[in-house]
Amino acid sequence: MESIRIDSHQHFWNYDPKRHTWMSDEMTLLKNNFLPPDLLPYLQKCNLDACVAVQAEQSEDENTFLLNLAENFDFIKGIVGWVDFQADNLEERLSYYSQFPKMKGFRHILQDEQQRDFMLRPAFMRGISKLEKYNFSYDILIFTDQLPYALDFVKAFPQQSFVIDHLAKPLIKQQIVGDWRTYIEKIASYRNVYCKISGMVTEADWKQWKNEDFKIYLDLVVEAFGIDRLMYGSDWPVCTLAANYEEQFAIIQEYFSSFSRSEQDQLFGINASSFYHL
């Protein structure tokens, strides 16, 4: 049987300037509505069957919005939502979301927190400790400067399913590897941590990136995580700041073209299916 092919990381929204405050002036392109009928033709062109929709705004309204979309569009196989991990009623909220089969996990936009080690707050960690009971995963969204804290974070929860979003955003534009490599290798030594090959084009030069700009970073995550803990994600529509859907897909497709069919199947679907219980 042919394995299902999955885009493990993309977003939907009805643009609202009050809610999508992370969109800067240089992101005018994103200040529009992006919905499932907009994405589907791209998935079909790239021979992808399904996707995982990830939160782009920190509210439970976002969960309702995404779950409604998933109910109406069957190719959305999973949702990564948001909850307040520091809230007193967190357990009650997790219990509530566990009734929705397509709610697979949660994320907090750690990269934007002024406190760079926000994830190590006792109240936040207490919240994370409750995820395993409900079989929810956690997406780690950080910038490279937060990798040392992420290492301590994953160390604290050896049974929790984690995935690093966007390779932890290495400095691709500057072609810097440095500490990013050191910490990625350390984090990858924990077998409960996966990594999404996603969001690379927006860390490169938006106007002048070349396929070879990504090679060293791809080499390093393949070496660190192995093919069985990597998953493809487009980060659409954010990727459109630097590349259209087919262009960003082609970078990954070309790099992995020399890998075996079974390894490509893992990257483009099996690993995401396994991680998110799709």
Intra-chain end-to-end CA distance of the chain, in Å: 16
- Going residue by residue through the chain, which has 278 residues, state the pLDDT in tens, using 9 for 90 and above: 568 999 999 999 999 988 888 888 899 999 999 999 999 999 999 999 999 999 999 999 999 999 999 999 999 999 999 999 999 999 999 999 999 999 999 999 999 999 999 999 999 999 999 999 999 999 999 999 999 999 999 999 999 999 999 999 999 999 999 999 999 999 999 999 999 999 999 999 999 999 999 999 999 999 999 999 999 999 999 999 999 999 999 999 999 999 999 999 999 999 999 999 99
For residues 61 and 112, what is the distance between their CA atoms, to the nearest angstrom? 20
Q: Where are the domains of the chain?
A: 6-276
pTM of the prediction? 0.96
By three-state DSSP, how is residue 154 classified?
A: helix
Question: Both tokens of residue 270?
Answer: 């099996």
SS3 content of the chain, % helix, strand, coil (to 5): 50, 15, 35
Class of CATH domain 6-276: alpha beta
